[in-house]
Amino acid sequence: MPNDCILNGSNKLAADDRAAHDWYRFVLSFPPHLVREYLNRFAMRPGKRVMDPFCGTGTTLVECKKLGIESIGIEANPMAHFATQVKTDWSLDPDDLIRHANAVADSVLAELASEGIADEVLPLFQEPSPHREPELKVLSPDCANLLLTDSISPRPLHKTLLLLEHIERLRDERYYNHMRLALAKALVFSISNLEFGPEVGVGAIKSDAPVVGPWLDAVYAMAADLRVVAELADAPATACHADARQMVRDLAPCSVDAVITSPPYPNEKDYTRTTRLETVLLGFVHNRAELQALKRGLIRSNTRNVYRDDDDDRWVAAFPEIQRIADAIEARRIELGKTSGFERMYARVTKLYFGGMARHLADLRPVLRPGARLAYVVGDQASYLRIMIRTGQLLAGIAESLGYELVGIDLFRTRLATATREQLREEAVVLQWCGG
């Protein structure tokens, strides 16, 4: 990651959008430059407080912290919440971090060597070690059943579990979370068989993959970023593990000056699958009951986290356009003869999604200061049987019904829908809360 910075007032900012301290984030994450644009437009500066109620892996909080602006993030996904906590902890000495990581690496490599396992991919012509094949470490059946089949091959999994054991054995609270987040990044991008497109999937199966090396690379990237941010004016950044639809219980009234966020879009993307491998291996979820509990804390944006007792749709029962879209989806389903359980829920999840967003916006009002500005980055969708959902327009209407003033809808970018060949808009819905 680049260490060259440009001067912006009294603060240094990373020169591009692979910004300093951006150690781990979702594919297609909220771009830092967009956060900076709205921080500038909303005249946010030290002394103000910014919230991201769908903070993901912390892009908004990191950008605020770099500018010396206090921030708070809300995130229901435990893995993403963990990443945000670590990415906003700049208290470590980078040289000490590297020394500790090297000690862990030496310990792991020594045990692997004793087992006759090299932490590298052997050339095809090289004979395997004469050591007897060790018994490989495996996940419990409950944990293994949560993963996509072939997410990670047996040997890399064994080495990963061994590395986790040594991180625990040599545990130092100053570095422990950073060690684990570095492993999460290495898992996704180097160790596993996962590949990312519109949805996460399994690519080419690797019989083996290095583990300690990619993990150390991620630690060294953290250390490089920590050196960059060490000169910045620090600002509090708080990450709360909570449901964005019921979060005000832990927040002071009239304490937020701006909201900059990108909530889930209404589509069939199961956001928990994107981080499933590291969520399981780092121990945030151990079985299906815990996974369901996780999903219940999320906005209902896809049919894989809809439950019988969900009732967020009552929040939009009086919105005729949302009802029209749901009716159109159901009519198209019947016309096409689609009868799967998931397809039968398309109309319902559409109403639950917008109802959940209405519930969130209603819950948010007490913590906003009069005059607070808000930017919600959302995208059009047509994944429910090609019925177009203009998310930004609908969200703007919901916000106005709840007392927000619509400042405007800014086009962020467009993309071509492969199924319908229509241009889908990604937009920032800009609002203002005048109080009352």
Helix, strand, coil proportions of the chain in percent (round to 5)?
45, 15, 40
Query: For residue 77, is pLDDT > 50?
Result: yes
DSSP assigned state of 436: -
Query: For residue 282, is pLDDT > 80?
Result: yes
What's residue 8's pLDDT?
Answer: 30
Query: For residue 162, is pLDDT > 90?
Result: yes
Confidence of residue 200 (pLDDT cuts 50, 70, 90): confident
- Mean pLDDT of the region 41-45: 97
Please report which helix (H) or strand (E) contains residue 194, including its range.
strand 194-196
What's residue 132's pLDDT?
Answer: 61
Contact assessment for residue 195 and residue 151, using Cβ atoms and an 8 Å cutoff: no
Q: Name the more confident of 220 and 436.
A: 220
Distances in Å between the Cα of 12 and the Cα atoms of 100, 230, 233, 373, 390 are 28, 10, 9, 25, 38
| Least confident stretch, 168-182, 270-284, 404-418 | 404-418
What's residue 151's pLDDT?
Answer: 96
Query: For residue 13, is pLDDT > 60?
Result: no
**Residues with Cβ < 8 Å from 8, sequence gap 6 or more?**
none
- Mean pLDDT of the region 39-55: 97
- Mean pLDDT of the region 181-203: 90
| Sign of the alpha-carbon torsion through 19, 21, 27, 29 | negative
Task: Determine the Cα–Cα distance for residues 286 and 140; give it in Å rounded to an integer.
Answer: 9
Query: For residue 203, is pLDDT > 80?
Result: yes
Q: Name the more confident of 391 and 269.
A: 391
Exposure of 278 in the CB half-sphere (CA atoms within 13 A) = 26
Query: Tell me: the pLDDT tens digits for 347-362?
Result: 999 999 999 999 999 9
Query: For residue 373, is pLDDT > 80?
Result: yes
Residue 306, burial from CB neighbour count under 10 angstroms (0-12, 13-18, 19+): middle
Confidence of residue 63 (pLDDT cuts 50, 70, 90): very high
Query: In sequence order, what E strands does 313-385 have?
Result: 368-379
List the beta bridge partners of residue 258: 50, 373
- Share above pLDDT 70 across residues of the chain, in percent, rounded to a whole number: 89
Confidence of residue 125 (pLDDT cuts 50, 70, 90): very low
Query: Tell me: the pLDDT tens digits for 306-338?
Result: 999 999 999 999 999 999 999 999 999 999 999
Contact assessment for residue 33 and residue 238, using Cβ atoms and an 8 Å cutoff: no
Query: For residue 271, is pLDDT > 90?
Result: no
Confidence of residue 74 (pLDDT cuts 50, 70, 90): very high
Q: What is the average pLDDT value for the chain, to the nearest integer?
A: 88
- Mean pLDDT of the region 41-59: 96
Closest CA to 239 of 86, 47, 350: 86
Taken in order of first residue, the domains within the chain and their CATH numbers are 5-90+235-268+300-433 (3.40.50.150), 94-229 (no CATH)
- Mean pLDDT of the region 401-406: 97
- Share above pLDDT 90 across residues of the chain, in percent, rounded to a whole number: 77
Query: For residue 202, is pLDDT > 50?
Result: yes
Q: What is the CA radius of gyration of the chain?
A: 23
What's residue 423's pLDDT?
Answer: 82
The Cβ of residue 428 has, within 10 Å, a number of other Cβ atoms equal to 24
Confidence of residue 122 (pLDDT cuts 50, 70, 90): very low
- Mean pLDDT of the region 395-419: 91
Q: Name the more confident of 69 and 135.
A: 69
What's residue 140's pLDDT?
Answer: 96
Query: Tell me: the pLDDT tens digits for 19-29?
Result: 334 444 443 45
Query: For residue 286, is pLDDT > 60?
Result: yes
Contact assessment for residue 283 and residue 79, using Cβ atoms and an 8 Å cutoff: no
What's residue 420's pLDDT?
Answer: 66
| Least confident stretch, 94-98, 193-197, 333-337, 404-408 | 193-197
